[in-house]
Amino acid sequence: MGFRCGIVGLPNVGKSTLFNALTETAAAQAANYPFCTIEPNVGNVGVPDPRLAKLAAIAGSAKIIETQLGFVDIAGLVRGASKGEGLGNQFLGNIREVDAIVHVLRCFENDDIQHVDNRVDPIADAETVETELMLSDLESLEKRVPNLAKKGQQGDKEAKLAAVVLGRALDLLRDGKPARLTEANDVEERRVLDQAQLLTAKPVLYVCNVNEEDAADGNALSQKVFDKAKAEGAQAVVVSAAIEAEIATMPHEDRGEFLAELGLVETGLARVIRAGYELLHLLTFFTVGPKEARAWTVEAGSKAPQAAGAIHSDFERGFIRAETIAFDDYVACNGEAGAREAGKLRQEGKEYVVHDGDVMLFRFNV
């Protein structure tokens, strides 16, 4: 599948530190100077899901396998990036390839860590980055829309529609607004926008990178980011990347106590991963057996054969039906046999739209 979140922001704000914590590695070089990262670092991260342990306990599964979400640690953007400043074109190209943006904002004071603009102001930082993304989209659409319109006049219907829809995005961008606010009246129009690969059409999660002492409750700076996110209908989370990176190197059994000392119930990373998952409109279904309890990812709205295809293309090609039990029913009936007896095991066909938490067994024939 490979859904990917790009970690984006100004230089030296903690992107690689966050990436290392997420991937529990030191794969990305994190250091106290701007433009430490040039080539993107790519890693897959298990999506924590407490339902897996419950399913495994009931079915006596030997192993738990989480579903994966990709993260890409991208180089820092600076003012002028859309004009090629600081290898801007290359970095913007890296952002174009991801499905969603995790925008890291520096919300910590620390005189030892250099800020490219010599000030700590997450709202201004966010605007700097967003402006570059908007300028890049603006420039691209100013070339594309007239070309599409011309083709439309020559009778190309697809181009005609694209010119109309992308024309709306262009108007927004000229107004200083992101393409994500573009209206789509139907599926066709939505597809035009999805395929246009606009940077500012991608969903955004703001990550407020705070000091250790603010990891639990945030601070005045992160509050400003939350207000901004709320106004935009976007999500935000508070994380101390430095602390998370430290936790990620600790043995699992020691982490709970350390988190409790910081006043945290779970790692900030768990929240980042979950929020990233929601951002992409993904949902989870399960396969459960004695060998393993496993979570899988599909896009919301996917039908049963597509879910089968997430496991193996043969399952999709030869799809017959999916024996399906809702997670709550599976737990309430203490497993498959009980669910079957209680009439909670449903035989679902090709048109079944998968629900989050479905426990599925695919019948197929190839």
Closest CB 201 distance from Mg ion, rounded Å: 25
By CB under 6 A, tell whether 30 contacts ligand ATP.
Answer: yes
Rounded to 5 degrees, what angle do the CA atoms 283, 285, 290 make? Answer: 155
Closest CB 250 distance from ligand ATP, rounded Å: 17
Say which amino acid occupies 83: K
Q: Is 14 annotated as a binding residue?
A: yes
Say which amino acid occupies 201: A
Exposure string of 179-202, with b = 16+ CB inside 10 Å and e = fewer, is bbebeeeeeebeebbeebebbbbb
Answer with the entry of Mg ion, ligand ATP, none that 209 interacts with (C-beta below 5 to 8 A by kind): ligand ATP
- Which member of 4, 10, 16, 58 binds Mg ion (CB under 5 A)? 16
Closest CB 222 distance from ligand ATP, rounded Å: 11
* C-alpha span between 364 and 366 (Å, rounded): 7
3-state secondary structure of 154: coil
Q: 351: which DSSP letter?
A: T
Long-range contact pairs involving 175-180 (C-beta distance under 8 Å, separation at least 24): 176/134, 177/134, 178/130, 178/133, 178/134, 179/137, 180/204
Answer with the entry of ligand ATP, Mg ion, none that 113 interacts with (C-beta below 5 to 8 A by kind): ligand ATP
Binding mask 20-39 for Mg ion (x = CB under 5 A): ----------------xx--
Closest CB 27 distance from ligand ATP, rounded Å: 12
Q: Closest CB to Mg ion among 34 and 152?
A: 34
3-state secondary structure of 110: coil
268 near 239, Cβ under 8 Å? yes
- Which member of 90, 131, 211, 219 binds ligand ATP (CB under 6 A)? 211
Q: Is 13 annotated as a binding residue?
A: yes
* C-alpha span between 43 and 22 (Å, rounded): 9
* C-alpha span between 55 and 361 (Å, rounded): 14
Q: Closest CB to Mg ion among 91 and 319?
A: 91
By CB under 6 A, tell whether 225 contacts ligand ATP.
Answer: no
Q: Which stretch binds ligand ATP (CB under 6 A): 28-36, 95-103, 165-173, 354-362?
A: 28-36
Residue nearest to ligand ATP (CB): 76
* C-alpha span between 84 and 131 (Å, rounded): 14
* C-alpha span between 190 and 170 (Å, rounded): 15
Q: Closest CB to ligand ATP among 113 and 164?
A: 113
Q: Is 357 annotated as a binding residue?
A: no
Closest CB 214 distance from ligand ATP, rounded Å: 9
Q: Which stretch binds Mg ion (CB under 5 A): 12-20, 99-107, 115-123, 253-261?
A: 12-20
Q: Is 67 annotated as a binding residue?
A: no
Name the burial class of residue 60, with classes exposed (0-12), middle (13-18) and buried (19+) by CB atoms within 10 angstroms of its CB.
exposed
Residues numbered 52 to 111 that lie near ligand ATP (CB under 6 A) are 75-76, 108, 110
For ligand ATP, the binding residues (CB under 6 A) are: 9, 11-17, 30-32, 34-37, 75-76, 108, 110, 113, 209-211, 240-242
Chain residues that interact with Mg ion, rule: CB under 5 A: 15-16, 36-37
